[in-house]
Each structure stands twice: as structure tokens, then as C-alpha cells.
Structure 1
């Protein structure tokens, strides 16, 4: 047997034995419901926090974009892929979020990797929160810089690392998420920003789960914390209801990335119709404060309805982790809820630390109060079963 085959068989067997085997489920979604193999489900695992993915105004905008600009961009941004909808969206994002420039990417994963691979050199130091997204951790470990991880949201540990590195020859970059996707908690951005300024370091914030949800007009975690980072990464697959990402920065940094970020240079640009629709998503996010207000109301309702003895974590975001601990138990609880018409995914290691398997409950503005009450009642019954 070829060694690749042996390696694959062994790895799959170990994943099964550990109770960590991942499987896809093919779903069908309409404006009102998600359908699985066994019927209709109320989806509490979506990152569509503002309910824009099924918003008729946004769907119409994408259809209009297709009629005006066709289906695909046809090339990378530096060939013929950069078109008027891309230019307009970049300008709109920069104006809204308060930066000189924005650059578009096809995904948050590629944006994060483009940034770290292009920006960092061998004598630089990269400091990351231990719970940062896999895209940031992988890029940091593969970059030429030295990477250090500080305990989650521990600003004292970050200060020690910065103080010890004050004499390094290269530059220092601190990067954190604004909202942590598995815990729903916020980074202490004001404190981190103060530290980076005091130690002449740059601060980058990945606000994939905060932009659209927090801050004035949905400007995100940094606006909520009252800071302005050197670099901001936002993604469009969450509150924007679509897909893609952008890096926001100053003029020179943007031009540097255009010249040296391989993910930008060699990837086909996002479809112009999608960029056109994203412009409408930006408008809806800024305009519709009621969506954020509804998320706050539903969050309070869920906390009130779930039995206090159940380990539902209080958070200031739509992400509500219910810590189970054991991976097999988390999968079993998720399956029991699915049988009751509730879709809540079980999240297991290595996505989360060992012994912290959980149900990752997410609320959206598309949920009703009745949906949330039903969710809480089913959780109470299943957990105590």
C-alpha cells in the first residue's frame, strides 16, 4: 500500500476513534427556513447575524449587478478584474470605517494570509492572541517573522512580551480578533491599543464577527472600543450576508499590498456583481439599526429563558456558546436538538481547546421571539434529559 494511503487511513481512523470526525450535511435554505434531510429546521448556527443573506433588497441588488456586469470578473485585480463596482465598494468601505484605503479579497482566510505573508520579515515579531482564527495562526507560523502567542485577552502578558521585545531589530505587529468566534467575547481593544502605541508597535484587528454588529452604524469592535487600529480586516460572510473580505489601512500600506501580497496579485477578483451587492449590504448595515436592536432583545430573551444551571455563556454579541466539555456529549446534544427541529452545531477540538466542546448558538435578526423561546425550552429539556 502506498505510504500516502497508509497515512490517510491512519489519520481518518484516529479521527473516528477520538470522536472528532467531521461530516457535511447538505441543507436547502429559503427565506423562511432551513431544510435538512429530515425536514424543516430553525437554524441557530448561521453567521448571518443581521439576516441579510435572505434580505430581498440585497438579493435584488445582486441580480441587478449580474444584469449590469455579468457573472465573473474574468481576471485578477491587476489584469482586468478590477472594475467600477470594486472601486466603488472600496471607497464606500474606507469612508464608512474611517480609513484611507480598502482592498478586496475573496475570503477572510486569504485576506489574513495576504497581510501577514506580505508584511512580515525575518527580524519582525508577531504577537497573537492564543484564540485567534486558524488563518492568522497558520500565516504567522509560516511567515518569516518570529511569532509569540499571549494567553487569551491577557493584556499583562502582552505587555511583558512587548517590553521584552523593545530592543528587537525589526518591527512588531500585534493582531487580535475583535469578537472571538467560538466564545463570543470581545478583545480588550482599548488596552491593547494603548500598549501598542506605547511600545511603537502596529495593531491589526480581525473584526469578522464584529463589523455590522457592534459600534455606531455597525462600524464594529474598534468603533465600539473607541480606537483606530493601524489595520482592520472585515469579512463579508457574516453580518454582510455575502462572501469575501477587505483589508483597511493607510494609502502606503495598501499600495504595498498591491505590489507584494500574492493572494491579491494572483487571485481572480471577486465578481463585480458581488461587489455591487456588497455596496447595498453596507447601506443596509448602516441604515437598519433595528437589526442590532433586535439582536440585543433576542439575546436578553435567551438568557432569561435558559435554565440558570445550564452553562450558557453570557456575551455581548450574537454568539452564545453552551459549554458541554465532552465531544461525544456535545454531538449527542446537537443531534437531540436536531430531532426537535433545531439546528445548532457541535464545535469540538481542535477548533476549540480540549475539554471545551460546545454548542455554538448564534442569534440573527431573522429569528423571532418564538424561535428563541422554543430554542431555550428544547435546550432545557435536552440538557436535563
Structure 2
């Protein structure tokens, strides 16, 4: 057996022994309120489709129209022939909505984050990241030529201690596992005027702020760079880096993930343009989401494991990884699909049920879930 085979077998055995093995489960309808697996139906509390757009008929129709107009794929990278009027219209709409000069499109949030840090940073630069930033950001920071330091989660005083002129500070707007908000106004004040602030608003865009402009709009700040992803509230996939014209031109020249990747299909860009308009115009989706979140909070107040968040991400803390998996299995028996999140995604001892509420849910769905979580909370007392 080769050394590579041995390494793979050892890593897989260790992960299985630790009870942290990950498995892919094939489901139908995972992008909607209900999903099915093995001919059984579940209410889905595990997707990030916060506004219920992923299965919305209006958005489906827009993608179909895009396919009719532009065909199936882009056929090339953006700098060859892969950029068309659909991409241009999407970029212009994003810039007008979010207040930036440029929007550089990517096929995923992961690639956008990596492209940003790999392209901007050089050997003697200082990169400061919140310790709970997404893996795409932290990995890119480690692999970049810059010196990376992590500040305590949402700890502005610690950030100030690490700050030096010309640093790049990176934080998420909404943290995906805890559902809490970054203190963006304080972070922005700390970085000005000698450093840059980049905010990954994957879980805030579309949900927070006026017309869904995101966590930065809600906090009343404009970062130097804003990363928005389309796989959550937009109900689709892809991402954009929002920035000034010089930064956008710089990324167009040097960001390898952008230059050497096939552009997103123009039909997708056409659908994303429709999604951006729907997000801005359909306030009822955010209003319903807020109402359901408040109802969830009211039902679980003082229940062991419950943690309040100001967002639609509702972690229910279990602690032990095996126990979290068992709790998720119990919920499935009741027709409720809630994912157990374990290390290394979260810290050891912080295993949880990650509940996500969407505008596609109704009050009865929330009641069914919270009644079962109350039982789990009592069992853990």
C-alpha cells in the first residue's frame, strides 16, 4: 500500500472513530420548505434560502427566459467571450442597489473570497480576521503571502491591539454558525482611515437593511470591499465582489479565479438580476421572516440549548457531537429535518442543531419544531 493510501485510510478511520464522519445524503426538494428522502417527507429547517426564492415560480420563469435568450452555458471565461449583456445588467443592478462602482462576478462565494485575498495581499501585508470567519477566508489567509492574525470573535478591542496602518480587516456581517452580527460600525471606525475593511455578507445580503441591502446598510457603514453571495437569500448560486473601480479593474487583471474560470451561465446572471429586483421590491418576505423568527424566540425562551440571535440562523446548542447527531435523528423521526453541526465546523464542545428559518415556513412549522426542541431541552437539563 502506498503512503498516500495509508494516509487516506488513517484520516478516514480517525474521523470515523471520533464520531465526526460526514456523509452525503441524497434528498429531493432540499431547496424548498419540504424535502423528501426515501419516500418520506420532512419540513426543511436546514437550507439558507432565507427569502424562499430558491423554488419561487417567478424566479424559475426568469431562468427559463434566460435559457431561451442566452442558451445553456457561457462557453468561455469573462475575458474571452463569456461576458454578455446579462452579466453586465446584473453588475449594474448590484452597483446601483449597494452603492459601489464595480461588481466582479464569481461562480461561488468560496472562489470570490479566495480570489480577493490571494490577489490583494503581498508578503509584507497584515491581514486581520475574525477568528470565526468562514473557512474560505481563513484558508485563503493562511495560504496568502501576507501575515495573518485572528482577533477574538467580535472583539473590537483585540482588533485595535493588532491593527497597524495599511492592514486589511476581514469579517463576516452575519456569522453562519452562531447567527450573530458583527459590530460593523465599531469595526469600521477602528479601521478608518489607514486600513481597509472587507465584509463577507453572505448571510446578511437580502435579509437585513433597507431593501435587503445587507448588514452593512443596517449598520450604516460602507466597507471598502463587500462580498455578496447568491446561494442564500438570492435562491441561486454565485457571488460578487463589490468594490471601487480601481479595485475592480485590478481584480479583472490579476484575480486568477476570475480570469481563468468559465463565466457563470448568462441565463443564471439573467435570473440573478430578477432575484435582485425581487429582493428589493418584496419587503413582505423580510417581514414574514422577522415575524417567524420572533415567534420561534417566544416559544423557546428559557429552554436549555436555546440561544437568541437577531437573524434567521438559530443555533440550538447540544455540546456533545454524538448527542447532537442523536437529537437530529429524533427530529427526523418527527418529520423535521435539522442538521447537526459538529467539530471541526464548530469548536469542540459546541456541537449544535443549526436551525434556519425562511419566509417559506409558516407558524405551524415553527410550532412543530419548537415543541420538539423543548423536549430535547428538558432531556438535557
RMSD: 1.0
2-structure distance, mates of 1:365, 1:110: 28
Shift of 1:384: 3.0
1:176-223 residue CA offsets vs partner (Å, 9 max, x unmatched): 00000000000000000001104x000000000000000000000000
Shift of 1:61: 0.2
Unmatched tracts of structure 2, length 5 or more: none
Q: Compute the TM-score of the two structures, normalised by the length of structure 2.
A: 0.98
1:188 corresponds to which of 183, 189, 192: 183
- Equivalent residue number for residue 207 of structure 1: 201
- Equivalent residue number for residue 110 of structure 2: 109
- Equivalent residue number for residue 130 of structure 2: 129
- Equivalent residue number for residue 64 of structure 2: 63
Shift of 1:383: 3.8
1-structure distance, mates of 2:217, 2:23: 38
Contact 1:128/1:174, CA 8 A, preserved across alignment: yes
- Equivalent residue number for residue 10 of structure 1: 10
1:233 corresponds to which of 216, 222, 227: 227
Given the alignment of the two structures, is residue 172 of structure 1 paired with residue 173 of structure 2, yes or no? no
1:205-259 residue CA offsets vs partner (Å, 9 max, x unmatched): 0000000000000000000000000000000000000000000000000000000
- Equivalent residue number for residue 37 of structure 2: 36
1:73-96 residue CA offsets vs partner (Å, 9 max, x unmatched): 000000100011001100000100
1-structure distance, mates of 2:120, 2:284: 39
- Equivalent residue number for residue 151 of structure 1: 152
1-structure distance, mates of 2:25, 2:238: 23
Given the alignment of the two structures, is residue 26 of structure 1 paired with residue 26 of structure 2, yes or no? yes
1-structure distance, mates of 2:206, 2:303: 32
- Equivalent residue number for residue 367 of structure 2: 373
Shift of 1:372: 0.4
Shift of 1:37: 2.1
1:348-363 alignment, distance < 5 Å: 348-363=342-357
2-structure distance, mates of 1:70, 1:310: 52
The range that moved more, 178-187 or 293-302, is 293-302
Shift of 1:308: 1.7
Q: Compute the TM-score of the two structures, normalised by the length of structure 1.
A: 0.97
Contact 1:336/1:382, CA 8 A, preserved across alignment: no
2-structure distance, mates of 1:292, 1:229: 23
Unmatched tracts of structure 1, length 5 or more: none
- Equivalent residue number for residue 323 of structure 1: 317
3-state SS, counterpart of residue 307 of structure 2: coil
1:66-105 alignment, distance < 5 Å: 66-105=67-106
Contact 1:345/1:359, CA 8 A, preserved across alignment: yes
Shift of 1:12: 0.6
1:54-77 residue CA offsets vs partner (Å, 9 max, x unmatched): 111000000110011000000000
3-state SS, counterpart of residue 54 of structure 2: helix
Shift of 1:305: 1.6
Structure-2 change in CA distance of 1:55 and 1:113 (3 Å): same
Count, aligned residues: 378
Shift of 1:359: 0.4
Shift of 1:378: 1.5
2-structure distance, mates of 1:107, 1:34: 24
- Equivalent residue number for residue 332 of structure 1: 326
1-structure distance, mates of 2:84, 2:231: 21
Contact 1:211/1:219, CA 8 A, preserved across alignment: yes
2-structure distance, mates of 1:4, 1:94: 47
- Equivalent residue number for residue 216 of structure 2: 222
1-structure distance, mates of 2:32, 2:350: 33
3-state SS, counterpart of residue 53 of structure 1: coil
Shift of 1:31: 5.6
Given the alignment of the two structures, is residue 259 of structure 1 paired with residue 253 of structure 2, yes or no? yes
Contact 1:333/1:383, CA 8 A, preserved across alignment: no
Shift of 1:174: 0.2
2-structure distance, mates of 1:95, 1:338: 43
